[in-house]
């Protein structure tokens, strides 16, 4: 199913640690350093078409960028240091002073404040990670938004940009109810789920950000499709969760665990049974947890699942 057209492994050393450099427009391997492909115009989906529909992002900042995913749109393309134009001719002297000004401006804008540079790097990271996760651009923008706030409040100090980036992305995902977990992010970032979780909580608290309380239901669709389970199984799984929520038995339990258990029960009572192991695999929850949860669910909901 998942046809990825981009190269994921370094042809030289087989490392998967590839990085896309936005300014250079090229990808390179972080391990051996070779450049994989050049002249990628933009491999990420369409941040440019911001004119299609109702644009609801708030443009609160002065001199608002066209999209808050770009740090200095238009200045990023490098200005050659030779006094030649594209055909190799010398540029008339009356244009040179203008050129100089452009270079100077560019140099300054690139290295202005540390915050600016920090932001630039972070936004590139956000775009890279979101694109790897195939997240819609609304989520990207929300992530960028959150990062900006965190940066403005000096929350990045003493923490790596990466962890802040990941935390921002996770918060955005929580808010937009995409069914993504910390592990999903950790998988495509070079940072562990532990630290993402820690910074996530920290940022949320210090920025007084509210996220909807975790809902197992949002995972059902994703997990079921990964398990090749039909809509019928999904529906009864959702039903189970709804009933469980009414009895307040999902509080304090991991939403993925609840979803996994509901799906297990649902699948067992259908023609498309899946084993605990299969479900554990895609839900990133252990079989033990699935057992505990589903036992508890079946008991309180009085669901009999004999074969």
Partner DNA sequence: ATGGTTTTTACTGCGTC
Partner DNA sequence: GACGCGGTAAAAACCAT
Interacting residue ranges for DNA, rule: CB under 7 A: 193-194, 197, 201, 252-254, 257, 268, 273, 275-277, 284-286, 288-289, 291-293, 295
Q: How far is the CB of 176 from DNA (least distance, A)?
A: 19
Q: Does residue 155 come out as left (phi exceeding 0), alpha (psi in the -120 to 50 range) or beta?
A: alpha
Rank residues 54 and 252 by Cβ distance to DNA and give the closer one: 252
Q: How far is the CB of 116 from DNA (least distance, A)?
A: 33
Rank residues 178 and 286 by Cβ distance to DNA and give the closer one: 286
Rank residues 190 and 295 by Cβ distance to DNA and give the closer one: 295
Q: How far is the CB of 289 from DNA (least distance, A)?
A: 3
- The C-alpha atoms of residue 133 and residue 22 are separated, in whole angstroms, by 17
Distances (CA, A) of 223 to 124, 235, 254, 267, 283: 30, 13, 15, 12, 7
Rank residues 45 and 214 by Cβ distance to DNA and give the closer one: 214
Q: How far is the CB of 226 from DNA (least distance, A)?
A: 17
Rank residues 49 and 306 by Cβ distance to DNA and give the closer one: 306
CA angle 248, 240, 210 (to 5 degrees): 50
Q: How far is the CB of 10 from DNA (least distance, A)?
A: 29
CA angle 108, 140, 255 (to 5 degrees): 140
Phi, psi of 256 (to 5 degrees): -65, -35
**How far is the first Cα of the chain from the last one, in angstroms, to the nearest whole number?**
32
- The C-alpha atoms of residue 227 and residue 209 are separated, in whole angstroms, by 34
């Amino acid at each position: 199913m998942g046809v990825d057209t981009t190269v994921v492994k370094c042809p030289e050393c087989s490392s998967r640690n590839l990085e896309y450099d936005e300014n250079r427009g090229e990808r390179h391997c972080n391990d051996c350093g070779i450049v994989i492909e050049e002249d990628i115009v933009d491999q990420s989906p369409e941040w440019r078409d911001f004119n299609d529909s109702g644009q609801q992002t708030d443009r609160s900042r002065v001199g608002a960028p066209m999209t808050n995913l770009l740090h200095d749109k238009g200045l990023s393309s490098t200005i050659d240091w030779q006094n030649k134009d594209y055909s190799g001719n010398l540029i008339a002297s009356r244009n040179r002073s203008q050129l100089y000004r452009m270079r100077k401006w560019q140099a300054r804008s690139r290295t202005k404040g540390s915050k600016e540079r920090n932001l630039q790097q972070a936004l590139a990271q956000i775009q890279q990670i979101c694109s790897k996760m195939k997240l819609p651009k609304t989520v990207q923008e929300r992530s960028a938004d959150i990062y900006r706030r965190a940066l403005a409040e000096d929350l990045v100090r003493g923490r790596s940009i990466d962890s802040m980036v990941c935390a921002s992305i996770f918060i955005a995902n929580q808010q937009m109810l995409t069914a993504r977990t910390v592990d999903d992010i950790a998988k495509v970032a070079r940072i562990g789920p532990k630290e993402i979780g820690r910074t996530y909580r920290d940022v949320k608290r210090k920025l007084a950000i509210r996220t909807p309380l975790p809902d197992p239901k949002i995972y059902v669709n994703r997990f079921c499709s990964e398990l090749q389970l039909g809509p019928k199984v999904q529906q009864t799984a959702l039903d189970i969760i709804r009933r469980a929520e009414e009895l307040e038995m999902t509080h304090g339990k991991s939403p993925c665990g609840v979803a996994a258990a509901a799906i297990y029960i649902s699948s067992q009572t259908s023609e498309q049974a899946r084993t605990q192991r299969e479900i554990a695999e895609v839900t990133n929850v252990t079989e033990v947890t699935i057992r505990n949860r589903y036992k508890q669910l079946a008991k309180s909901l009085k669901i009999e699942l004999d074969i």
